[in-house]
Amino acid sequence: MQNIKLIVTDMDGTLLRSDHSLSPEFNKIYEELKENNITFVPASGRQYYSIISYFENIKDELAIIAENGTYVTYKGEEIFVDELDWSVVKEIVEEVRKIEGANIVLAGKNAAYVESKDETFLEYFKNYYDKNIWVDDLTKIKNEQFIKIAVNHADGTEFNVFPKLVDFEKYGLKVVVSGEVWLDVMNKKSNKGVALQALMNKLDISSEEIIVFGDFMNDLEMLNLAKYSFAMENAHPNVKEVANFKAPSNDEDGVIQVIKQYLQQLKTVNT
């Protein structure tokens, strides 16, 4: 690896440990990336405000891919927003209400909205959505741009939710299992890969100049873009098949370990 200009990483299950904490080494590693003119890019299904809560002091130095690629910023400037059709959003809300154990989140540009009364879910959901609003009825919300629908199911979404929502793809949507207990619905053209490609085009960066880390199916498209693609040790089997390399698990700070190795390699080359 040489001449890396972007380091792109998923958050949950990848950069973050299982307790949602960031490695204490991150700040030191980030300063070294900055010294080497490498832009750091968190790319997550999380809300923009949830992502920047981890990087409050440096948020305007980063590129950020939020809500699985439907909202992208570069150094504080909004460069991409992909809004969903409101009439279809309402249909999906009605469908999810029929699924026992499912909780729905409407991810807007300004906040995330929920109508669930499940206290356990509401506490859990706040880990991912820092700006959140509880409402009586999601279908009555006005004056918001919705960019993603997230559905949570404590028993897993791959079999409990996905089969019941996949037919909505006929409306030009993409239904993707984004974590063990999460599923996302967004416009078909939206994913982390499309968002990353837009960023690469803006910065004139090639696939050989980026490192990408991921652990779940919503990371596949961006992993496919990079020559240096890493699946975490704890990654879904499909992700391990697609990635060109493997990194130690998220709980071993695998992302940090690989970046440290690259920075050490740079020092060796430059001495």
Domain identity same for 22 and 146 = no
Q: Is 14 left (phi over 0), alpha (psi -120 to 50) or beta?
A: alpha
Are 208 and 199 in contact by the 8 Å Cβ rule? The answer is: no
Domain identity same for 130 and 103 = yes
Among candidate residues 10, 82, 215, 219, the one labeled active-site is 10
Torsion of CA 193, 11, 139, 188, to 10 degrees: 10
Among residues 144, 159, 187, the one where a domain terminates is: 187
Torsion of CA 27, 32, 35, 39, to 10 degrees: -70
Domain identity same for 183 and 205 = no
pTM of the model: 0.85
Q: Based on the residue annotation, tell me whether 136 is a catalytic residue of this protein.
A: no
Q: What is the amino acid identity at position 141?
A: I
φ, ψ for residue 232 (rounded to 5)? -70, 155
CATH number at residue 115: 3.30.1240.10
Domain identity same for 116 and 198 = no
Residue 81: CB partners within 8 Å, gap ≥ 6?
70, 71, 109, 145, 147
Domain identity same for 111 and 144 = yes
Nearest in space to 153 (alpha carbons), one of 116, 103, 117: 103
Residue 100: CB partners within 8 Å, gap ≥ 6?
none
234 occurs within a structural domain: yes
CATH number at residue 225: 3.40.50.1000
Domain identity same for 205 and 183 = no
DSSP letter for 84, please: P
Domain identity same for 51 and 102 = no
173 occurs within a structural domain: yes
Among residues 137, 170, 187, the one where a domain terminates is: 187
Among residues 148, 172, 187, the one where a domain terminates is: 187
pLDDT tens across 114-136, in order? 999 999 999 999 988 889 999 99
1 occurs within a structural domain: no
The whole-angstrom separation of Cα 185 and Cα 176 is 6
147 occurs within a structural domain: yes
pLDDT of residue 2: 76
CA 195, 196, 201, 207 torsion-angle sign: negative
Q: What is the total count of domains within the chain? A: 2
Domain identity same for 65 and 92 = no
70 occurs within a structural domain: yes
Domain identity same for 209 and 221 = yes
pLDDT of residue 271: 67
Work out the average pLDDT over 238-267.
97
Residue reference for tokens 């060796």: 268
Task: List the domain range (segments joined by +) for residue 112.
Answer: 86-187
Domain identity same for 183 and 196 = no
| Encoded tokens for 72 | 């992208």
pLDDT tens across 54-74, in order? 999 999 999 999 999 999 999
pLDDT tens across 154-168, in order? 999 999 999 999 999
92 occurs within a structural domain: yes
